[in-house]
Amino acid sequence: MTNNGSTIDGVLLTVSAEERFADLTLVTAYENDIKPIPVSEPIVAFSTKGCVIGPQLTTTLDSGKIVATSDREVDTTISVDIYMPYSMGGSAAHKVYDRLATFLLYEAGYNIIKSVCNETEYDKSCQAIVLKSTFVFHEVVSS
């Protein structure tokens, strides 16, 4: 995990700092956000979908005794929804996902243990093609 953490703000900051994503509007999304109608440029919306905090981890001392540490494994699921103008089509949304996934999985320094990309759909409410995806960020945290 990088020093930005796996929070939405950290991931958004990491992606926003990359010049290669300058052609995208990157936003933090909430369920009740008002979307532009119609979508006129590619928008990537990041939101937290859940967090699972595991039990305390243990370590074995030189004496062989097993003791609990203050460390815990944390898996944070982040939703990345890509909104494309209808005129650009679904394949453009998949190309954006490929760019983001490549960066997040291999270049950004995150420990991502799972990513899911769904089919594109048309969203009447904002007149856009939407591609929904998720990434699960894994880290060990200490108190």
**At residue 67, what is the residue type?**
V
Q: Which among 18, 23, 99, 83 is positioned nearest to 47, based on CA atoms?
A: 83
Residue pair 126/35 in contact (Cβ under 8 Å)? The answer is: yes
β partners of residue 74: 53, 139
Assigned CATH class of 8-141: alpha beta
92 and 63 Cβ atoms separated by less than 8 Å:
no
The answer to whether the beta carbons of residues 134 and 113 sit under 8 Å apart is no
- CB–CB of 10/28 below 8 Å? no
Q: Provide the residue-wise pLDDT of the chain in tens; the chain has 143 residues.
A: 433 445 788 899 999 999 999 999 999 885 566 667 788 899 999 998 999 998 888 888 899 898 888 899 999 999 999 999 999 989 999 999 999 999 999 999 999 999 999 999 998 888 899 999 999 999 998 87
pLDDT for position 28: 87
In this prediction, residue 2 carries a pLDDT of: 39
Please tell me the predicted confidence (pLDDT) of residue 32. 61
In sequence order, what are the beta bridge partners of 123? 128
- State the Cα angle at 95 between 6 and 43, rounded to 5°: 60
* Helix (H) or strand (E) run with residue 110 in it: none
Strands (E), the chain: 25-28, 43-60, 66-85, 112-123, 128-141
Domain range annotation of the chain? 8-141
Confidence at residue 39, expressed as pLDDT on a 0 to 100 scale: 87
Contact in structure between 46 and 29 (CB atoms under 8 Å): yes
pTM comes to 0.83
Are the C-beta atoms of residues 79 and 60 closer than 8 Å to each other? no
